[in-house]
Amino acid sequence: MKFTKRISTLAAGVAALGVAGLGSTSAMAAQDQVNANATIVDAIGITGDRSLEFGTIINGAANTVTIANTAAGTRSATDPTQLLLGGGEQSAQFTVSGDPGRSYNLTVPPSITVTETGGTTMTVNNIQHSATGTLDGVTGNEVFYVGGDLIVTNGQLAGTYSGTLLIQVDY
C-alpha cells in the first residue's frame, strides 16, 4: 500500500504542476496574423514627340510670339506683321505612358532660354501644357501639348535660336 500511495501522490503532484503550467502560459500569450501584399505597376515614362517651334519671325520691333498649347499649336503675336507664313510653327507634343488610369505629376519650367550660335538669347515665358494628369484607363497613355510666349526684343539679332524644354513626370 505504501508503494501505491506514493505513486498516487506523485501522479497527483505532476498533474497539478502540468495544469498550473498550462494555465499560466495560455493566459500570457496571444497571436494573430495579417497578410503581406504588394502591387507592382508599370513604370511611368515620357516621350517628346515633336518640338516647340515658333516659326520664322522678321527682326524689327519688340514682339511677343505665342504658340497655343493645343494640337494645332496656333501662332499669334503682338505684332503679327512680323510673322512669316509657313515657318513650321507648332506646339510641342509629349506622350506619357504608365499604369492605366493612374494619376501623375507633371513638372514644367515657367520659362526657358533659347540661344543663337553667337550667344545671343531670347526667353520663352508663360509655358503652358494641356495635360490632365491622368493616364487613359485602357491604354495607360496621355498625349498633351505645350506652348508658350517667345519674347523678341527690338532689333533681335537674326539667326537660328534653340534651347531645351525639359518636362518631368512621376507618380
CA atoms within 13 A on the CB side of 92: 22
| pLDDT, tens digit, 9 for 90 and up, residues 99-149 | 999 999 999 999 999 999 999 999 999 999 999 999 999 999 999 999 999
Distance CA 70, CA 92 (A): 9
CB 108 within 8 Å of CB 51:
no
CB-based contacts of 96, cutoff 8 Å, min separation 6: 44, 45, 46, 104, 106, 131, 135, 141, 142, 144, 169
Instruction: Using pLDDT thresholds of 50, 70 and 90, give the confidence band for residue 87.
Output: confident
Closest CA to 167 of 113, 114, 96: 96
Residue 10 confidence (pLDDT): 47
Neighbouring residues of 167: CB distance < 8 A, sequence distance ≥ 6 = 46, 48, 94, 106, 107, 108, 129, 146
Q: Give the chain's mean pLDDT.
A: 90
Which residue's entry shows cell 550660335? Answer: 117
pLDDT of residue 57: 95
User: Which residue carries 515614362 as its cell?
Assistant: 45
C-alpha cell at 51: 518640338
Q: Return the percentage of the chain with pLDDT > 90, whole number.
A: 80
What's residue 6's pLDDT? 53
**Nearest C-alpha neighbor of 96 from the set 52, 129, 66, 127:** 129
142: helix, strand or coil: strand
The three cell numbers of residue 9 are 501522490
> CA 139: distance to chain centroid?
17
Residue 24 pLDDT exceeds 50: yes
- Please determine, for residue 61, whether its predicted confidence score (pLDDT) is greater than 70: yes
